[in-house]
Homo-oligomer: A and B are copies of this chain.
């Protein structure tokens, strides 16, 4: 891990998205959300993704100048067709629309279909929190997770994010995959030759395994909670709800019908029936439920009660969801730095070459 100048990385990344065919505005927005993952220490969702994005652009799975369009609406809802564009472009437009609807109706709810990977879910939820609204984001994804009793993966790691504004404190932000472990973590364990903890994975037959590379051998991640006796069926419910809200409501590809990126890149699964992945965004004005000041004060109290509670031996305190990532982001923005792995810069530079330009060479 090395620290780079954030302004330079940001400008250079924007250039690459423009070279791919994005408008200046879209290039800036995509770049900002992508790099925000690195600033917040969520490196699996950051710049490392850029080369894959470009391969999908070249295959026509991502259309860089697509413009999301509203295809259905009611006073508090809408559905956008992302036109196979970058997920970030649709994501920003969808959350802006949800916020706009909430201004009038109290809440706004926007589904997106025909979309692609949108980076970190929390970035959109936080847009609502900045307006004194609760922000909600969900998305479905490549099938990697086996429902309870299933031999095969049928669901994605299907993240959900909830941002809740507070008064004196920064927003609460719960941003989590509904699966217990990410592909990124499994890859890291595999590289280190490390086994996975018990209960997280299964092999091609659906039998428990601790082999961290099980996904490369047709295995699956299990649902949050693991076995039924430890609540794994609840994890299945949760992933299923994210899939239904993101994809069935909007008309995107759901569950096992999502076309896996890796398979697609390898030339498999180029189904005709590609409505992309789907997302779901919500914005709820807190003053649609209570006087704004009363809500914000009570949320401050919530944060204080959990922060001051007694921790177990060896831990300093209970972590308020979102605190560690925000603190990291603030530190980096103060120093105008961004942490990147050496091979990420190298691989993005190769993509830059393909695009007829350089990345961070001056």
**Using a CB–CB distance below 8 Å, which chain A residues touch chain B?**
72-77, 79, 104-107, 109, 111, 134, 147-152, 154, 162, 164, 172, 174, 176-181, 197, 199-200, 202, 205-207, 224-227, 229-231, 233-238, 240-241, 243-245, 248-251, 254-257, 284-286, 288-290, 294-295, 298-299, 302, 305-306, 309-313, 315, 317-319, 321
- Measured between alpha carbons, how far is A319 from B251 in the docked complex, in Å? 23
Closest 7 CB pairs of A and B: A74-B106, A180-B231, A206-B312, A174-B237, A74-B288, A77-B288, A77-B106
- Residue in contact with A305 in the complex, picked from B164, B230, B257, B317, CB distance below 8 Å: B257
B107 touches A302 (CB 8 A): no
B174 touches A205 (CB 8 A): no
Residue of B nearest to A236 (CB): B321
B311 touches A151 (CB 8 A): yes
- A207 proximity list for chain B (CB < 8 A): 312-313
Can you report 7 A-B residue pairs in the complex whose CB atoms are below 8 A from each other? A73-B288, A75-B76, A150-B306, A150-B309, A174-B240, A202-B312, A225-B225
A197 touches B229 (CB 8 A): yes
- Measured between alpha carbons, how far is A72 from B295 in the docked complex, in Å? 13
B298 touches A251 (CB 8 A): yes
- Measured between alpha carbons, how far is A205 from B162 in the docked complex, in Å? 30
B318 touches A111 (CB 8 A): no
- A74 proximity list for chain B (CB < 8 A): 105-107, 285, 288
- Measured between alpha carbons, how far is A295 from B244 in the docked complex, in Å? 10
- Residue in contact with A254 in the complex, picked from B181, B202, B237, B298, CB distance below 8 Å: B298
- A200 proximity list for chain B (CB < 8 A): 230-231
Instruction: Using A302-B244, A306-B147 as known contacts, say yes or no to A107 and B77 having CB atoms under 8 A apart.
Output: yes
- Measured between alpha carbons, how far is A299 from B109 in the docked complex, in Å? 19
B149 touches A311 (CB 8 A): yes
- A226 proximity list for chain B (CB < 8 A): 230
B289 touches A72 (CB 8 A): yes
**In the complex, given contacts A79-B289, A107-B107, A162-B244, what are 4 additional A-B residue pairs having Cβ atoms less than 8 angstroms apart?**
A77-B289, A148-B318, A149-B315, A224-B231
Residue of B nearest to A180 (CB): B231
Instruction: Using A76-B105, A310-B150, A312-B151 as known contacts, say yes or no to A251 and B290 having CB atoms under 8 A apart.
Output: yes
Residue of B nearest to A285 (CB): B74
Instruction: Using A107-B109, A294-B251, A317-B149 as known contacts, say yes or no to A234 and B164 having CB atoms under 8 A apart.
Output: no
Tell me the minimal C-beta distance from A18 to chain B in angstroms. 33
A321 touches B240 (CB 8 A): yes
A255 touches B75 (CB 8 A): no
- A202 proximity list for chain B (CB < 8 A): 312
B149 touches A299 (CB 8 A): no
Instruction: Using A149-B317, A234-B224, A284-B109 as known contacts, say yes or no to A154 and B197 having CB atoms under 8 A apart.
Output: no
- A245 proximity list for chain B (CB < 8 A): 134
B75 touches A104 (CB 8 A): yes
Instruction: Using A74-B106, A318-B149, A319-B149 as known contacts, say yes or no to A255 and B302 having CB atoms under 8 A apart.
Output: yes
Residue of B nearest to A226 (CB): B230
B225 touches A76 (CB 8 A): no
Residue of B nearest to A299 (CB): B248
